[in-house]
Amino acid sequence: MKRTFFITMLAFLAVGLLAGCNSMKKLQQDVIQTAVMGQVTPAQLESVNGKINFEYTVKFAPKEFGKKMILKITPRMQYGNNVEKLPPVFLQGEKVKGSNYPVVAYKSATTITQKMTMNFREGMQNGVLWADIEAIHGDKAFAMSPVILNQNGVRVWQNYTLRVGDTDYVPVMTETFVEDVPVAQVGVVSGYVLFPLAQSKISETQQHSAVMNKAVEAMKKVLADKGATVTNMLLYASSSPEGAERLNKNLTNNRFKAAKTFFEKDLGLSGLPIVKNAKFVVPQMVTENWDGLYLLLNDSNIKNKAQIISEIKAAPNNNKREAILESYIKRIPELKNDILPWLRRADFFVFYTTPEMVQEEMQMTYFIPQADEKTPTVGTQWNWQLLNDLAAIAIQNKEYKKAQKLLESAIVLKQDAAIQNNLGIVYAKQGNNSKAMEMLNKAQVKKEARYNMGLMLLQQGDYRKAVSYLKDTPGINLGYAQLMAGDNNAALNTFKQLKLTTGTDYYMMAVAAARVKDVNTMAMALQKALQLNPKLKAWAATDVEFQPYANNAMYQQLVK
């Protein structure tokens, strides 16, 4: 008949050292037999988000555990040459004093279950869970041979980590120049010429300037593309407010006519049928460009520029204003040589549309020289719609600094929701989230602004609030926000109503279906996701969202 752990220890205590090696061997054998009865649940250890949680259960038959004994069981995970030790489990007999460990009854069967956890380390997939065992009686301790608790390794499950692609904010165009066309399909080629003082003739130097040469090359690319359609041209003509310019009442109109003829011919537009349409050219003329002067002065290095602007604006009438300007022209060479010449100009903006799918080279043809120069866009400052639309195109081309410059000029002219929305995008793309949200909040009259606000909230992890902003524009981002907010049924319904196109889209649908236990939809969506993007298979095989389906035949077939 097998001797129990308790009887073995009594025998050891009775004979002391006389028991010798035979008692020690028997004690070791019985302790190991007792420990081997321990069971790890689940049998397949799993790491979920970097944590391995399991239960360790030890069962003892009646009279199997000594009344004054303590058993110390220390689990450890061996993986390769590394060892991860867990906190030891202590069990004590019912007559042990001075300790407060779980008690094993002497006369009745006892089951002890301990919840245990450890951090996952790479390599544990092939690890073995052992336990060191030590029997303790008073000041005596006996280390026993370690035992294997589990040798199935660790299956790794990671939390759902897919994210929607780059944040695709929606810029708003005023549709003043190109109506009913998404900004992604609108391009513009721009340029300008400067005129001599009080003249409307375009010099040879200006006709072949670097700006015009670049504009001509850009326009050639547009005209060579059979999918591109030129829609219209905004033509701006301006005169400076100094005496010689001011006295020539027909000067601005003559500059407009000369520029129109030159631009249409130089850019190769003359032969286009649309040029014959009277509405092709949108005219804009400023005969005395005082506001342009203020803008250039403010951007200059003239020391007393604020005083000059203040004095001119405070003048009681035009004659006095003109006299103040003339007095400063005589005293400040920079005003005469570097600022006023920039107000004698003609600018053109040729708008064109392209198909929704355009080549990268085509996207790069649009050219707005003014926004690249130190000199402000004096030729466009009086038309806030144009500034906004040019900024929208710049946003589409990821030129956020250029867009910001245009929009900050536009918003001075008009506190419009379209400008505020686009400024919100520019600030967001440059990391200034507080100013971005301030602008988008002001622009909420625009559905695009509400959608963009939803995208920002989505990025910030405020998913429930994001849903409230995105629900008016159902799309993949709404489904993602609902999914992350835990509204799984709503997310699944959203995904079902959308025309999904990417593996990521279908993967999110599979996650939503898994959460609501719609196994058939989960399998269908996951299969489609892996077909569109085979790289997702590795994710799906370890995604905690699919952990409840680890033994499902359809799931196993998809990820094997």
In this predicted structure, what is the pLDDT of residue 376? 44
Q: Is the pLDDT of residue 332 over 70?
A: yes
pLDDT, one tens digit per residue, over 224-245 is 999 999 999 989 999 999 988 8
Residue ranges of domains in the chain, CATH in brackets: 5-157 (2.60.40), 183-382 (3.30.1330.60), 461-559 (1.25.40)
Question: How far is residue 33's CA from residue 5's CA, in Å, rounded to a whole number?
Answer: 9
Residue 265 makes CB contacts below 8 A (sequence gap 6+) with none
Yes or no: say if 180 and 229 are a contact pair by the CB < 8 Å rule: no
Q: Is the pLDDT of residue 460 over 60?
A: yes
Question: How far is residue 9's CA from residue 328's CA, in Å, rounded to a whole number?
Answer: 111
Distances (CA, A) of 461 to 452, 481, 484, 487: 14, 9, 8, 15
The phi, psi pair for 314, rounded to 5°, reads: -85, -5
Yes or no: say if 479 and 495 are a contact pair by the CB < 8 Å rule: yes
Q: Is the pLDDT of residue 371 over 50?
A: no
C-alpha 11, offset from chain centre: 71
Question: How far is residue 60's CA from residue 110's CA, in Å, rounded to a whole number?
Answer: 5
Question: How far is residue 444's CA from residue 449's CA, in Å, rounded to a whole number?
Answer: 5
CA-closest candidate to residue 346, choices 321, 322, 380, 319: 380
In this predicted structure, what is the pLDDT of residue 490? 96
Q: What is the mean pLDDT of the chain?
A: 85
Apex 404 CA angle, 401 and 405, nearest 5:
90
Q: With bands split at pLDDT 50, 70 and 90, how would you rate the model's confidence at 157?
A: confident
Yes or no: say if 329 and 343 are a contact pair by the CB < 8 Å rule: no
In this predicted structure, what is the pLDDT of residue 242? 92
Q: With bands split at pLDDT 50, 70 and 90, how would you rate the model's confidence at 382?
A: low
Distances (CA, A) of 439 to 175, 401, 418, 493: 21, 17, 10, 32
Indicate the pTM of the whole model: 0.68
Q: What is the CA radius of gyration of the chain?
A: 40
In this predicted structure, what is the pLDDT of residue 420? 95
pLDDT, one tens digit per residue, over 94-105 is 999 989 999 999
